[in-house]
């Protein structure tokens, strides 16, 4: 009986270990390229993390899955498309993800609106968001927004604003560990920070992340990739 129990625990242990995904091996060159993008922009991450007193690696981990998915060729095509459709007609007509952090114009619009609603004026002035009050406004404003979200420094500003909005939105959530916090914030980044608690909880367990622009058979959990980067790199 004792031997049987030991065998059972051993099998369970092996099974649990085998279910842990090594995303560095899984994504291969895409993972390596993402690490290189992080390294290339390390000074900017460090500058903004220090300026706004946020864990630098935490910020990197939130967007790391997007860096894995980033493709410069697709990005150039989508930016060109955005210039013609988004600027003329808005995000209802064209809402591609662009830039290293794969931000959509609609995401930027939501950040601008919510930041001006709930974040304090000192922060808004410091980061420069106090003038971004109209979601669509005009072709001129949409063009300015597009120019912002294809710029890595401005994407970092949107990421900082997103982080601060999460700090407000999730302040009453029961978050036990920093790992849990990262998984919640990264899920909100991927799914939408304005989504309900039930939707976010569902997405925390969902495998909906895939590489490329076309959905493939292999899907992964976004938050798990963020967590893997944070814990292993």
Q: What digits encode the pLDDT tens for the residues 156-203?
A: 999 999 999 999 999 999 899 999 999 999 999 999 989 998 999 999
**Conformation bin of residue 102: beta by default, left when phi > 0, alpha when psi is -120 to 50:** left
Maximum CA pair distance of the chain?
76
Cβ distance 228 to 21 under 8 Å?
yes
Cα separation, 21 vs 225, in Å, equals: 9
Res 3 pLDDT > 50: no
Instruction: Output phi, psi for 84, to 5 deg.
Output: -85, -40
Lowest mean pLDDT among 34-38, 127-131, 137-141, 213-217: 213-217
Spatial separation of the C-alpha atoms in residues 51 and 47, rounded to whole Å = 6
Please tell me the predicted confidence (pLDDT) of residue 6.
38
């Amino acid at each position: 009986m004792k031997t049987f129990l030991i065998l059972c625990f051993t099998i369970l242990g092996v099974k649990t270990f085998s279910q842990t995904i090594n995303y560095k091996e899984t994504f291969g060159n895409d993972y390596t390229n993402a690490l290189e993008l992080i390294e290339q922009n390390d000074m900017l991450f460090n500058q903004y993390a220090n300026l706004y007193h946020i864990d630098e690696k935490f910020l990197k981990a939130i967007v790391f899955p997007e860096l894995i998915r980033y493709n410069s060729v697709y990005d150039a095509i989508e930016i060109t498309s955005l210039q013609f459709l988004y600027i003329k007609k808005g995000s209802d007509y064209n809402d591609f993800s662009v830039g290293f952090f794969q931000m959509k114009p609609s995401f930027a619009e939501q950040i601008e609106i919510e930041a001006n609603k709930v974040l304090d004026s000192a922060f808004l002035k410091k980061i420069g968001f106090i003038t971004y009050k109209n979601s669509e406004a005009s072709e001129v404003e949409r063009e300015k927004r597009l120019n912002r979200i294809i710029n890595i420094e401005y994407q970092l500003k949107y990421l900082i604003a997103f982080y601060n909005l999460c700090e407000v939105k999730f302040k009453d959530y029961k978050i036990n560990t920093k790992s849990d916090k990262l998984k919640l914030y990264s899920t909100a980044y991927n799914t939408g920070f304005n989504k309900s608690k039930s939707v976010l909880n569902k997405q925390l367990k969902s495998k909906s992340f895939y590489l490329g622009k076309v959905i493939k058979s292999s899907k992964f959990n976004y938050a798990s990739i963020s967590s893997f980067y944070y814990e292993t790199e």
